[in-house]
Amino acid sequence: AQSVTQLDSHVSVSEGTPVLLRCNYSSSYSPSLFWYVQHPNKGLQLLLKYTSAATLVKGINGFEAEFKKSETSFHLTKPSAHMSDAAEYFCVVSDSSYKLIFGSGTRLLVRP
């Protein structure tokens, strides 16, 4: 069965410093992986997706993620945090029936 583990429930960074949100996945086949962002009291927005093409995936708002099969990881990064990046981030894997399985979320706090 597919699953994802987000290793940090909260991450706090200063504005202008790099962001790293960690995600490990478990899948019995080559997975489709996603990162979604949820701003307070808002819906879910797709940041980026990996679907077995390039292992380094670029998304919106300067975010990117690297698929590492040997480490079963799909960590989300951004070189320089902005105050508007403060939100909840979800790592997601899609199973064979295209059902999305969500991680528990990481809350990103950005300090001025």
Partner 1 sequence: DTAVSQTPKYLVTQMGNDKSIKCEQNLGHDTMYWYKQDSKKFLKIMFSYNNKELIINETVPNRFSPKSPDKAHLNLHINSLELGDSAVYFCASAFSGLAEVFFGPGTRLTVL
Which of 40/112 has CB closer to partner 1? 40
Does position 67 interact with partner 1 (CB under 8 A)? The reply is: no
Does position 34 interact with partner 1 (CB under 8 A)? The reply is: yes
* Cα 64 from Cα 58, distance rounded (Å): 4
* Cα 41 from Cα 52, distance rounded (Å): 32
Which of 46/54 has CB closer to partner 1? 46
Does position 100 interact with partner 1 (CB under 8 A)? The reply is: yes
Specify the residue for token string 């410093």: 17
> Which member of 11, 85, 90, 108 binds partner 1 (CB under 8 A)?
90
Q: How many CB atoms lie within 10 A of CB 27?
A: 19
* Cα 29 from Cα 104, distance rounded (Å): 22
| Identity of the residue numbered 93 | V
Does position 60 interact with partner 1 (CB under 8 A)? The reply is: no
Which residues in this chain contact partner 1 in the complex, by CB under 8 A? 32, 34, 36, 38, 42-46, 49, 51, 88, 90, 94, 97-102, 104-105
